Structure 1
Amino acid sequence: MTALNSLVRVHQWELDEKRQKLADMERLLDKLQNDLMQIEQAYESEKKIATTSPEAAAAFPNYADAVKLRRKRIQDSMQVLSVSIEDAREEVRASFQELKKYQTAESNELRREKAKRAKREQQALDEVGLNLYRRRTARRA
């Protein structure tokens, strides 16, 4: 295992970790969006009930205040999380570019090694061919 191979593996692992972190944040954002939709649906349902029942109408203002507060907290969390997601995406992009540099260097090194090996093999084959030629010409003379 070459040093470049080790660097590629380390950077691949780092990239995978950053992608996982990004995916977790995106799942959390989706959950918050779903929670917000559920709150809105529950609010509309309670609003309809409050129009038909005097007891529910009396309690509805307190419920509405609690819903506003919860909605605001979720929206604030979503904004903070959106910024964090953009930062994480930038980290993933930077990590991917870094990984590509090492993968390219590793690929170039492998290609050079393969070319060297092919050249050595060709030289050995040329030497064998040259020796055979010399032997044949020596026998004829």
Structure 2
Amino acid sequence: MAKGDLHAVIRLATMEIDELRRQIGALQRREDELMARDRDLDAQLARESKTADDHPEAAFTFASFLSAHSTRKQQVAAALTEVRDEITEVRDALADLFRQRKTYELAQEARDRKAAAERARKEQAVLDDIGLEMHRRRTAEDDEADQSPPGGPDITGSF
């Protein structure tokens, strides 16, 4: 890992975010199960109430059923409250992780831009050196050409 590279930290934060998302999914499934259980208890109460109305001899046991039903409803309500509190806590942790990861990503982007600018600066310096060297050579060649006699060397062979 290069100095100042946050990609590993960003990947770790992403894995933690994925884990919290899985936890939220599990908690929401649990919440759905508890809400279904609560609806079942309500349906069960309606059935027992109708049975007590239809059969007066069953009315004697309805009071104890009502007491047990009330206890079960309270247990489900308490469990629902607990699950919803956990969901809230995990969502808050998830929001914090998202903010953290975004901070890392922005810092990495700034570092990447700075590194790219530095690379571009170095490449431009190399190109500038090459251009300067080519200019010097051309100037030297032009100076040599100017110093030679006009018309080039005498090859006529006159003695």
Alignment counterpart, residue 42 of structure 2, candidates 16, 40, 43: 40
Task: Identify unmatched segments of 5+ residues in structure 1.
Answer: none
Counterpart residue type for residue 90 of structure 1: D
Aligned twin of 2:153: none
> How far, CA to CA, are the matches of 2:137 and 2:39 in structure 1?
89
Aligned twin of 1:63: 65
Counterpart residue type for residue 109 of structure 2: S
Aligned twin of 1:103: 105
1:40 aligns to what SS in structure 2?
helix
Alignment counterpart, residue 53 of structure 1, candidates 55, 59, 73: 55
Shift of 1:139: 1.9
**1:5 pairs with 2:7:** yes
Cα RMSD of the aligned pairs, angstroms, is 1.9
2:77 aligns to what SS in structure 1?
helix
> How far, CA to CA, are the matches of 2:126 and 2:57 in structure 1?
98
Alignment counterpart, residue 125 of structure 1, candidates 124, 127, 141: 127
Counterpart residue type for residue 119 of structure 1: R
- Bigger radius of gyration: 2
> How far, CA to CA, are the matches of 1:118 and 1:9 in structure 2?
28
Question: TM-score if structure 2 supplies the norm length?
Answer: 0.77
Aligned twin of 2:142: 140
Aligned twin of 2:24: 22
Alignment counterpart, residue 86 of structure 2, candidates 60, 63, 84: 84
Counterpart residue type for residue 69 of structure 1: T
> How far, CA to CA, are the matches of 2:47 and 2:54 in structure 1?
11
> How far, CA to CA, are the matches of 2:128 and 2:44 in structure 1?
84
Bigger share in helix? 1
Q: Compare 1-10 and 93-102 and name the one that shifted more.
A: 1-10
How many residues are paired up? 141
Shift of 1:131: 2.0
Give 4+ residue runs of structure 1 displaced > 4 Å after superposition.
none
Shift of 1:77: 0.9
> How far, CA to CA, are the matches of 1:44 and 1:12 in structure 2?
48
Task: Identify unmatched segments of 5+ residues in structure 2.
Answer: 144-159
Shift of 1:55: 4.2
Question: TM-score if structure 1 supplies the norm length?
Answer: 0.86
